[in-house]
Amino acid sequence: MTDHPAIPGSKIGVLLINLGTPDAPEERAVRRYLAEFLSDRRVIEIHPIAWKPILHGIILRTRPKKSAEAYNQIWTNEGSPLRAIAHRQAEALRKRLPDVSVHYAMRYGHPGIAAALEKMADEGCTRILAAPLYPQYCAATTATANDAVFGTLARMRRQPALRTLPPYYDDAFYIDALAVNLKRQLATLGFQPERLLLSFHGMPVRTLELGDPYHCHCRKTARLLGEALGREVDVAFQSRFGRAKWLEPATDAVLASYPKKGVTKVAIAAPGFSADCIETLEELGIRGRKTFKQAGGEQFALLDCLNDSTEGIAMLELLISRELAGWRNES
């Protein structure tokens, strides 16, 4: 047919997926972001009939102002730290994987998963690896990211072939990258930490009871990382929300207890986060430091996430290349 629409050449695509961020450190933008995030049934496993009055009647009336103030403390000239790092991660991988179309998206906020996948399809990506950058699997993170990918494909007439990146909490590539990265950072500190605390995002205990493997994944990551570092590590869980019982011990409680035990010099890392964000920079770096110092602590260091470090990008390249085996050889 002479009037047949143009069809781009076949490409392989990779979509890096992270949680999300508001568009600006302002109350209205934060409210919009929280409304999307906290309306996800994977995140809040309470029936909407019971949850919506709480969300819209209380939380979205009070929390956005406080959260906007927190975002204001970490916002950069590039905008949201998480989005800026995600952009740099994608740029770095494009250079390392020149035959692959690399994009990034956020589960909540912008750029969204649907828009990214549609753009990739328009570019001619007929095979796509969706890569949620959550080392430890959790339904509230990995599964909902995949849900959004599957939902977008369900609306497409011409669907690309799809693969998803599995959790990599105990993968040697990940553990090695963390160990090398953290050793390098620890070596540059002006003091010797008496404890290294690994803080993972918390989850309600109910998720564990329902069969979610997240808690076990976090504990295994910590054990393997401690072995790779050749030192003991402490484990805690942060970001408690609501009245339900959450995984313990709580990060803030652990930090407050250290000085009472004679521990006055600590370093804290967040290996469950692939990029620094409000939970690491503000919750740990600002509030966590304050909690520790007010309890009598003397020296505190927040260690960077893998972000777009040499170790972090090399790890992502290895993980992605393994998942693309066969596709790249055939394309």
> In this predicted model, what pLDDT tens digit does every residue of 183-217 receive, in sequence order?
999 999 999 999 999 999 999 999 999 999 999 99
CB 246 within 8 A of CB 206: no
Confidence of residue 331 (pLDDT cuts 50, 70, 90): very low
Token readout for 232 is 């003991």
- Where are the strands (E) in the chain, listed by range? 11-21, 100-109, 125-132, 161-164, 195-201, 234-238, 265-269, 299-302
72 pLDDT more than 70: yes
Provide the sign of the torsion angle of the four alpha carbons 40, 46, 47, 52, taken in this order: negative
2 pLDDT more than 70: no
Query: pLDDT tens for residues 260-291?
Result: 999 999 999 999 999 999 999 999 999 999 99
131 pLDDT more than 80: yes
Confidence of residue 243 (pLDDT cuts 50, 70, 90): confident
Look-up: residue for tokens 């992605």? 320
What are the backbone dihedrals phi and psi of residue 20, each rounded to the nearest 5 degrees, phi first? Answer: 140, 175
Please state, in angstroms and rounded to a whole number, the distance separating the CA atoms of residues 247 and 226.
Answer: 20
- Helix axis angle for 172-187 and 214-229, nearest 10°, is 50
Could you tell me the strand order of the sheet in which 299-302 lies?
234-238, 195-201, 265-269, 299-302
| Omega before residue 249 within 30° of 0, cis | yes
Please state, in angstroms and rounded to a whole number, the distance separating the CA atoms of residues 37 and 39.
Answer: 6
pTM comes to 0.95
What are the backbone dihedrals phi and psi of residue 236, each rounded to the nearest 5 degrees, phi first? Answer: -150, 170
CB 237 within 8 A of CB 202: yes
Q: What is the DSSP letter of 9?
A: P
3-state secondary structure of 67: helix
163 pLDDT more than 70: yes
3-state secondary structure of 201: strand
138 pLDDT more than 60: yes
Average pLDDT over residues 28-44: 97
Q: List, as one string, the DSSP characters of 248-300.
A: SSBHHHHHHHTGGGT--EEEEE-TT-SS--HIIIIIIIIIIHHHHHHTT--EE
Average pLDDT over residues 63-85: 97
Amino acid, single-letter form, for residue 181: N
Q: What is the DSSP letter of 76?
A: B
